[in-house]
Structure 1
Amino acid sequence: MIGNLLQHPLTRGLSLDDPRTTLLRRQIIASKPFLRRIYAEWYADLTDAVGERHRVLELGSGAGFFKEVCPQAVTSEILLTPGVDLIADACVLPFADASLDAITMTDVFHHIPDVGAFLTEATRCVKPGGKLVMVEPWYTPWSGWVYSHLHPEPFEPAAGWEIPSNGPLSGANGALPWIVFKRDAALFAQRFPRWRIARIQPLMPFAYLLSGGVSLRALVPGWLYPGVRFMESHLRQERWAMFAFIELELGE
């Protein structure tokens, strides 16, 4: 399989649920200029959406550097990981009612085994007018092929909202954000009427793939990033995007 040939040597043979994998992925992001620029762009978008809100929780912080961009964020991870503020399960958040201004995440929602339970917790913990913002894999004709052939995680657009709990990180369905917020948008609105989908912006058809992400070798040097992003901006994102920026706002 192509994915096996391109697998990054630092994570080869390690379980996704091994905390060492998270730490190695942090090292990989820092060492790959093209990939780091992707995360910097995502974090800037998340921070812009959060604005001046002070009590911000980031879920799944272990491999990233969101706090460098958003210093007020409380970082968290489901595994015991050095460098994060607390250990937290997204389905049982250790926060008081209406105590958070925002929750952010990057590539985390599609790992949550029961997103209904998480959204219930988010509704409880976030203040009225607060935000839930994320960057997640997204289903398009192009991404469906890529995620099915070049990515180790399951990608099942026909599945339901829950995923098998094989492990905190190995359990996944990359199509889950698209399922909840696009395919089942009416069901989402029925189950969680206080949450309004403020924005869904499909993005990045090729950049992440060319970077190799946190699992594969980089295919291009960092200096090509502006050119790749310029080229991508001229494509029809609804057909080609591999990710989406998703912004929800909580009503009264």
Structure 2
Amino acid sequence: MSTTVSPDAYRAELEQQAASWRRKPALRALYQRWFELIGSRLSDVGPTLELGCGCGELGRHVGSVIRSDNVDTPWCDLVADGKRLPFADGVLGNVVIMDVIHHIAAPLKALAECRRVLAPGGRVVLLEPSISLLGRFVYGVLHHEDVDLSYDITRPVEDNALFANGGIPTLLFGRGREGWKALGPGLDLLENTALTGPSYLLTGGFTYRGVLPTPLVRPLQWLEDGIAGSGLGGWMALRMLVVLQRSGLSR
């Protein structure tokens, strides 16, 4: 089943996230590392759009970013549907999608729209949930959003601006990557890196009380990087970092 919330509930959730961000230095330190990973993957062929900016922190860390959301919030520059972006063909250098693609009921339409607006060499950089063995427990039991790995991402669906299914990134880029392959040519898969996540759990995320001291965040993330590069990474991953690059092919 899918989960929906109202625009007012979404704004209230963002207010809570912003408050958590201000009072939790360990959470900020953890996201700083993720922002660095995203920033290092961006192309220089044009401006960067953030699709679904949440409480707007990415732009403070990776340079100039056009912040968009599908609901008007105090943190966005542009209200836009990810499946119908208000940009001409080939004008953007990057689209950053951080914890957003799993909120889009028709993710292939959103990726096709990214393909349309990107210049050749432009990139889609995604940081999203990964439903590994550990991820099944964390997202399926501890998290408030649904995880439905039986969901058909290729089927036509009605617009549902506030949908959530944490399994969508895995359906797109996990296993045989059949979801991404259904998109067709024009976006080449450059990277799909598993990021393990004990550090996120220990910070408590945006919802729970954290137990991880801020000075230990970065050393623990270095340890996680080592685990991610081993055979255990796929079992323990809570996040995936995916980079797609616009090729000269079109569809």
TM-score band by shorter chain is 0.7 to 0.9
Of 100, 115, 121, the residue aligned with 2:113 is 121
Aligned to 1:61: 53
Q: Distance in 2 between matches of 1:54 and 1:127?
A: 7
Aligned to 1:11: none
Quick check: 1:62–1:77 contact (8 Å CA) kept in 2? yes
Q: Distance in 2 between matches of 1:38 and 1:211?
A: 8
Q: What is the aligned-residue RMSD (CA, Å)? A: 2.3
Q: Distance in 2 between matches of 1:244 and 1:190?
A: 19
Aligned to 2:138: 146
- Describe the SS at the equivalent of 1:242: strand
Q: Distance in 2 between matches of 1:161 and 1:19?
A: 27
Do the aligned partners of residues 131 and 15 (structure 1) sit closer, same or farther apart at CA in structure 2, a change above 3 Å counting?
closer
- The number of equivalent residue pairs is 238
1:106-117 aligned within 5 A: 106-117=98-109
Quick check: 1:17–1:168 contact (8 Å CA) kept in 2? no
Q: 1:28 corresponds to which letter in structure 2?
A: S
Do the aligned partners of residues 92 and 166 (structure 1) sit closer, same or farther apart at CA in structure 2, a change above 3 Å counting?
closer
Aligned to 1:168: 161
Do the aligned partners of residues 162 and 192 (structure 1) sit closer, same or farther apart at CA in structure 2, a change above 3 Å counting?
closer
Deviation at 1:187? 4.9
Aligned to 1:23: 15
Quick check: 1:137–1:174 contact (8 Å CA) kept in 2? yes
Identity of aligned residues (%): 27
Quick check: 2:43–2:123 contact (8 Å CA) kept in 1? no
Runs (4+) of structure 1 exceeding 6 A deviation are 162-166
Quick check: 1:139–1:242 contact (8 Å CA) kept in 2? yes
TM-score, length of structure 2 as denominator length: 0.86
Quick check: 1:59–1:77 contact (8 Å CA) kept in 2? yes
Deviation at 1:111? 0.6
Aligned to 1:229: 221
Quick check: 1:189–1:195 contact (8 Å CA) kept in 2? no
Q: Distance in 2 between matches of 1:228 and 1:165?
A: 42
2:33 corresponds to 1:37: no
Q: 2:247 corresponds to which letter in structure 1?
A: G
Aligned to 2:189: 197
The CA deviation string for residues 117-149 of structure 1, in whole angstroms up to 9 with x for no partner, is 112211111111110001100121111112111
Do the aligned partners of residues 205 and 71 (structure 1) sit closer, same or farther apart at CA in structure 2, a change above 3 Å counting?
closer
Deviation at 1:162? 6.6
Q: Which runs of 5+ in 2 are unaligned?
A: 1-5
Deviation at 1:62? 2.5
The CA deviation string for residues 12-69 of structure 1, in whole angstroms up to 9 with x for no partner, is xx98843122122122123211111121111111111004344110011122411111
Of 238, 247, 250, the residue aligned with 1:251 is 247
Deviation at 1:233? 3.2
Range moving further from structure 2, 210-219 or 34-43: 210-219
Q: 2:237 corresponds to which letter in structure 1?
A: A
TM-score, length of structure 1 as denominator length: 0.86
Q: 1:39 corresponds to which letter in structure 2?
A: Y
Range moving further from structure 2, 68-77 or 125-134: 68-77
Aligned to 1:158: 150
